[in-house]
Structure 1
Amino acid sequence: MGVVGVRHRMFAVLLALAAPAAAQPGPWLPAPADPAAVSSVTVPAPPAASLGQLLPVSGGPWVLGEVLFFSAGRVVSDYAWRDKVRGRRGQLYTSSDLQGDVETLMGMGVFDRVSPAVYAIPGQSVPPEYATISVSTSQVRVVFDVIEKPKASEAKPKFITPPSAVSGLILTPTAYRGAGKFNNPGLGLDINAAYFIGRLYGKNNYEDAPRKTNYIDRIGLWTLTADGKMQVQSDAGWRPAVAVGGQAMLMFRDSPQPTVTAPGVSVKVDAKKTKILTDAYFVASKNLRGTRLSAGVMQGNIGELVAGLSEFLTPEALRFYAKNPAGTEVHSRTVPFASVFYLVKPDYPIGVEFMKFNGAAAAPYMLNFKIGRFLKLNFDVAYLKFRNGYELLGLFQFRYNHFPSR
């Protein structure tokens, strides 16, 4: 009985000693006076032994040894938070400093709650000069348990398509510069690239042609053009915008032109794969309620472009099919042109342009349709008409405004 009585008394003493510590709120639990917070917040607590002996936060002063931040039971290393704490290691730190740091941290606007706690660090004695001032013989570890505010989901940046160029359509220029922001006279420079993929459909009535109908044939013709202009007159009232300029076009192929076949003869087209074509032009443009009309003329050898778009316009075809004298080629020094286009949206152009290759054998002309965005693709269509036939071509085209860019 004596042994049992002693054990009961020891158990009662341990309960009495544990009761005050259990009554004091720890840094990972809300104060007991807030039952709603206790029921709504469940945060795992790290072992108290790893932090040291818990001290009352209303005491002090102490000698600060370390500052830690806990969020959801884990140590968080955030220099932006640490820099808000006024205490410095090895210096005196009071309860008023602690309260001020809590207010500063709450003022950051990123926390729903900040709960401070103070722990004595075993084995780290206070410096001798603070031994009579500090309430603890050990330096202290200040722990801030924080509950961060939920971060609003960041909206994905919306991709904004730049406005389309109004300085040109597909192969022909206009009198405007850039994307149309500047109507006043000035300089403009564009880089225009077009790729003629192939023939979608074609028909001819040449007597010696092996096929009268052709479709899905490869062309593989690239054009890379630098277009520089000077707008000399703005578009206002009844007056159109006027510009003069010049173009330099690098034309090259990634596929040879089809072979020309006639009765008793088969000739491989041996056109140069790379050519440089140039022109000077004059163009006038008028904006009529959003519809831009342009007309002008190009002067130079750029009219030879059309000869590379169909084997029926090569010297071999003109000789064997059209019965022209040997050596006849498609040459045009003057190319009148006109275009109409409309911006359904700033980045949604539709339009058509006309090009007539004056003086060329077989009298060719082209109608190029800017309908790529209408088809939800950057895919345009060209109609090429020449004597005794026509062809429907597919192409990609890109125009880059180097100056002005708007």
Structure 2
Amino acid sequence: MPESIALITPSVSVASAEALAAALAPRLLAQAAHSDVEGGFPTREFGWLREAGLLAAPLPVALGGSGLGETAHTAALLSTLRHIGRGNLAVGRVYEGHVNALQLLQRFGQPAQVARWAQEAAQGHLFGVWNTEAHDGVKLEPLPDGRFRLHGSKTFGSGAGHVTRPLLTAALPDGGWQMLILPADEQVPRYASEFWQPLGMRASASFRIDFAGLEIGTEDLLGQPGDYYRQPWFSGGAIRFAAVQAGGAEAVFDETRRFLQRLGRTNDPYQRQRLGEMSLLIAQAQHWLQAAAGVAARPDAATAAEATVAHANLMRSAIEDICLRVLPLAERCVGARGLLRPEPFERLHRDLTHYLRQPAPDAALADAGRYALEQTSPAYQLWQP
């Protein structure tokens, strides 16, 4: 291990990372309205995360992190993501991509690569995962000197212009899919900010990004072709974004209760009924996060990939349903008055509604049903090792 890496000491423990995220949530929420601009980015907020050591936290302790990204600490990771989502869903979206990239590079990278990228993360580089593309997706052209030239573009590249180490998937000439980590501060792509005119999540800067003509070396390739789609990590990773969404639902709950307390509406029997329903939903979301962390941290989570993926699909489906039920209850609680700025509900509604539109929700639930139909064990054993 390079001496410069060995000298890095972990800035936070797993427990303190979770506590720091919880403490940051109110600051993130207070700042969110100022960051809610099309084409903008929560630069100040990521400065806070960087100062708190949360960008390096998913790294192993030996590489300057807290080990937050390790399977054994999945519960703490999901709680950390939930707290950041509670503060600002756009920040949570980009931070979840950062965590995803760090987990992928640790899982599939060579030791020298992991050490190099870990050092860059510890130095403050922001990582992300840009996989979504349209008809003109990213392709890798092998060059005579052993390097590769990129062609094509990605869509919904969250953190565009601020993520300096994006992890991309690219098509090889033989049809395989190869991961790479682009040094985007040296090989600078072209960002099309006009692509991003969203309903919500304005501050996530999820632009269309053109990589045509950029070149990388073999040291920038991550893993083997097809590794990105290996299960249970590809589909099972949905529990991370669902944790951020659950944080968004908690923010809606907290702000609804604050609004009613401020107006002295706590004795209204209908408001109490709605808050009871919302409390039930929030508790369900929290239980789902605990259950998902337990399944993901099982010793056989990788070998029992189908069960792990099926449970993750159930969890993401449940969290989506919970959020979609919390939102109209909150609207009825606060009425038209509560949906006027500077109250946060209008932004929270837009951001959470937009963020819930993750790929293939129906297919995810159908796949969980397929798995259940193929099993013969009773329901109480269905998700057990």
TM-score by length of 1: 0.19
TM-score by length of 2: 0.20
Larger Rg: 1
* Structure holding more helix per residue: 2
* Structure holding more strand per residue: 1
Higher relative contact order (CA 8 A, sep 6+): 2
